Amino acid sequence: MLPLTLGLGLLLLLSLVCGVGLGAAEVGWADVPRFLWAGLTGGTVSAGDAAAYTIVWEIRLPRVLLGAVVGAGLAAVGVAVQAMVRNALADPFVLGISSGAAVGANAVILMGAFAGLGVWALSVSAFASALAAMALVYAVARSPRGLTPLRLILTGTALAYGFEALTTVMVFGAARGEAARSAMMWLLGSLGGATWAKVPIAAVTVAAGWLWLRWRAEALNALAMGDETSAALGVPPSRLRRELFLVTAAVTGTVVAVSGAIGFVGLMVPHVVRMVVGADHRRVLAVAPFAGAVLLVWADVLSRLLLAPAELPVGVITAVVGVPAFILLMRRGGYAFGGG
């Protein structure tokens, strides 16, 4: 287990370096570590290297770091959501939170809402609308028996369709074509808006959520075996689902606010990791964030390179990779989704 985690950690470090070095603008590989060292130590670079240094330190490095954080967060939350609703096809967006965040984000992009917040308008609006969507899903799904998996899935799916319809109306009603294009980029996921200011907020939220999930890993094992078994083992299922709902909503809302709606990471990574380490959530949660981070860093690299100097939404890359991988996984005889 430890060798696998260390191996993925080294692979992630290598992926980060490659992510900084690769892009539409050519930067010499020998210059990348020099620029990174100058940025870390506060050193200086020559006037002739100023443009390349800005690309590496101010544009690419925060972008790849944010990609790693978002990928790790989506993978960890994907594990939690699949345990929470006991559904192998669940992912972080099944609760309708990303669709709710899209409403707030598009209100900024298309209508100029919260303009007084400046560069923070998009993130604040997306996060606030994600929290509002979370509250609405919780209020509708809650019953005298607590939060049941079926009610959560049905409520989240139904409200997601409603949020998506509202977003579509906003896009079609946009007066500017460029604003509609920006909205579509955000809906499909993009790390193009990454800044140093966004990295710490996302990193702290994802780290806190992941540590809490690791702490509750044994409880997730009990919950995955069914409500009756969970209760018999001393883990109240309804209370645990409420806690999981709050944690997954906070992490999902944060990563969606900084990167848009990136699909397939939270769906695919948990399944692939379970094939390698088994179903024990203590193992899965130790490995899945590293795998998700590596996947999203390379997906973002491809999104920058395939049509350079134009840029594809990173969600397109994860879907292109995820769809065939998911089909192959589903047809694999030795692996049963959700144990069924």
User: Per the domain annotation, does 332 fall within a domain?
Assistant: no
Averaged confidence pLDDT in the chain:
84
Q: What is the CATH number of the domain that holds 197?
A: 1.10.3470.10
* Mean predicted confidence (pLDDT) in 117-139: 80
- Residue 295: per-residue pLDDT: 95
* Mean predicted confidence (pLDDT) in 232-243: 87
Helices in the chain by DSSP H: which ranges? 2-21, 31-41, 50-54, 61-85, 97-111, 121-141, 149-172, 177-188, 198-215, 217-224, 227-232, 237-259, 265-277, 281-305, 314-331
User: Per the domain annotation, does 338 fall within a domain?
Assistant: no
- Residue 129: per-residue pLDDT: 86
* pLDDT band (50, 70, 90) for residue 119: low
User: Per the domain annotation, does 336 fall within a domain?
Assistant: no
Residue 339 reports pLDDT greater than 50: no
Single-letter amino acid, residue 72: A
Tens digits of residue pLDDT in 69-109: 999 999 999 999 888 888 777 787 778 888 888 888 878 77
Range of the domain at 67: 2-326
User: Per the domain annotation, does 334 fall within a domain?
Assistant: no
User: Per the domain annotation, does 91 fall within a domain?
Assistant: yes
* pLDDT band (50, 70, 90) for residue 233: confident
Residue 16 reports pLDDT greater than 80: yes
User: Per the domain annotation, does 339 fall within a domain?
Assistant: no
* Mean predicted confidence (pLDDT) in 213-232: 89
With H, G, I as helix, E, B as strand and everything else as coil, classify residue 146: strand
Burial class (CB in 10 A: 0-12, 13-18, 19+), 46: exposed
User: Per the domain annotation, does 333 fall within a domain?
Assistant: no
Residue 340 reports pLDDT greater than 60: no
Single-letter amino acid, residue 206: V
Rounded Cα–Cα distance for residues 250 and 51 (Å): 37
Q: What is the DSSP string of 19-74?
A: HHH-SSS---TTHHHHHHHHHHHT----GGGHHHHHIIIIIIHHHHHHHHHHHHHH
- Residue 283: per-residue pLDDT: 93
Task: Report the percentage of the chain scoring pLDDT > 90.
Answer: 26
* Mean predicted confidence (pLDDT) in 153-174: 84
Q: How many domains are there within the chain?
A: 1
Q: What is the DSSP string of 164-203?
A: HHHHHHHHHT-S-HHHHHHHHHHHH---TT--TTHHHHHH
